[in-house]
Structure 1
Amino acid sequence: MDAINYEEQPGTGIVIVKGRECMIDGKGQAIPLTNVAPADKLQDELVRKIIGFAADLNGRISRFRDHTMGDLCSFDALLAQEYGAKIGGKKGNRTYQSYDGLMQVRVQVSDRIEFGPELQIAKSLIDECLTEWSAESRPEIQSIVARAFNTDREGQINKSELFMLLRLEIEEERWKRAMEAIRASIRVTGSKEYVRFYSRRNLEAAWEAITIDLAKA
């Protein structure tokens, strides 16, 4: 199919093709504006409006995150220079609090974990155990195993379910060897910092998160 030469009217979804107002459909074809259903025009306008606001908000959140981390790092450097002190524990988690004790900024460091080839050995040993136990094995153990080794949407092993296996008290020798293989497979490949914000009405009240997440706002 030959490429369509057109002049775009920014932000409208409308293009000019050979002097006619058109809209490009999902197949890349230019459809004259008069042939586009009113409901489709309205939906296109709605989506473009929302995406415009979303893109702007995304940019502002990114700038806010960068400014926040920059301000916190500057404060940390000031403490280190002036007082020879620093905030936080060994893992890098830090908490900053307002003078009145009603607002907090928390920086939490989460390790990025991957698993080495030992995990496949663990899976083989666990499968042997489940096959031998068959009907005698508890359904909840079978369920945890199935979830642990089922990859998530990013194609990663389900870490939380896998770590649940390590907490099970099972004395079978092969099971113990499987758990040792899981532990040996764990690789910490880096870390990521998360900034979270909290406030409370008074000193006796519980901390409430200030959410910057559409799903939780």
Structure 2
Amino acid sequence: MTAQQTIPDGYRQDGQGRLVHESMIKPIDQERDRLVRDLVKSAIHLNGLMAGFKAQAFGDVRAFIEMSFEEYGARVGGKKGNVTLLTFDGRYKLQIAVQDSISFDERLQAARSLIDECLAEWTEGARPEVVTLVNDAFRTDTKGEIRTASVLALRRLEIADKRWQRAMKAIGEACQVTSSKEYLRIYERIGSGDHYQPISLDIASIAAPNADEPRVGEVQ
């Protein structure tokens, strides 16, 4: 690790590591530097707050679930699943969703081979939509990876051919859950209906505030 360069008073370091006297830096460049640094400082602080909120939310929900289980003399065990909690009046809803990342092992290639045998034999009489579904399912995405949802969708096709059935079995056995990720989602009910609007924690989807409109998400 290289030692951090000591910057003399009255100088700043540019993007190429050179020392530049502040008198040589245009006022607009100094103002831009100040603006970005101030916003980055606020962003780092906000990031820490959100990380703390996430840890608190997951911890509090797990503690509540354990308390609820204890009321019936049950113990929480095994993999955590999806859970939805609502306020007493139904205005607010909190969901924790578990999403598994799935990949396929080498048995997927065996399944593709069996499917190709079927398609080769069915070519003249096969339904065009079946051929299209199969070819689309094994088409890779922009990262060069097989799209798991499209492959798994093939298992919903009702085809009696024994080779197809073996292929579908191979697909099922080739599925491997590589990781699981938990997501926290919070909603507010709109009016008295059944529609809930998400209270977004993603800065890209948060609308800029409008002073003329009521604030959404104010807890009463």
Partner of 1:162: 151
TM-score, scaled to structure 1: 0.69
Partner of 2:167: 178
Partner of 1:208: 197
Partner of 1:98: 87
1:111 pairs with 2:110: no
Seen in structure 2, the aligned counterparts of structure 1 residues 143 and 83 have a Cα distance that, compared at 3 Å, is: closer
Question: How big is the shift at 1:181?
Answer: 1.8
Partner of 2:20: 32
- Greater mean deviation of Cα atoms: 28-37 or 184-193: 28-37
Distance 1:147 1:46 in 2: 48
Seen in structure 2, the aligned counterparts of structure 1 residues 43 and 20 have a Cα distance that, compared at 3 Å, is: closer
SS of aligned partner of 2:205: coil
Contiguous gaps of at least 5 residues in structure 1: 8-15
What is the letter of the counterpart of residue 198 of structure 1? Y
Partner of 1:67: 56
Question: How big is the shift at 1:150?
Answer: 0.9
SS of aligned partner of 1:29: coil
Alignment of 1:12-91 (within 5 A): 16=7, 21-25=11-15, 28-30=16-18, 32-33=20-21, 44-84=33-73
Seen in structure 2, the aligned counterparts of structure 1 residues 114 and 86 have a Cα distance that, compared at 3 Å, is: same
Question: How big is the shift at 1:186?
Answer: 0.7
Q: Paired residues, what number?
A: 200
Question: How big is the shift at 1:52?
Answer: 2.9
Q: Cα deviations across residues 34-78 of structure 1 (Å, max 9, x unaligned)?
A: 666776655554444443333222221111010011111222232
Distance 1:197 1:170 in 2: 42
Q: Choose between structure 1 and 2 for higher RCO, CA contacts under 8 A separated by at least 6 residues.
A: 2
Say if 1:112 and 1:191, in contact at 8 Å, map to a contact too: yes
Q: Cα deviations across residues 114-166 of structure 1 (Å, max 9, x unaligned)?
A: 222101222334455566739x773784476346441454x643222222333
1:150 pairs with 2:149: no
Distance 1:215 1:110 in 2: 22
Distance 2:135 2:40 in 1: 41
What is the letter of the counterpart of residue 169 of structure 2? E
What is the letter of the counterpart of residue 65 of structure 1? K
TM-score, scaled to structure 2: 0.68
Partner of 2:212: none
Question: How big is the shift at 1:185?
Answer: 0.2
SS of aligned partner of 2:140: coil
Distance 1:42 1:175 in 2: 67
Say if 1:4 and 1:30, in contact at 8 Å, map to a contact too: no
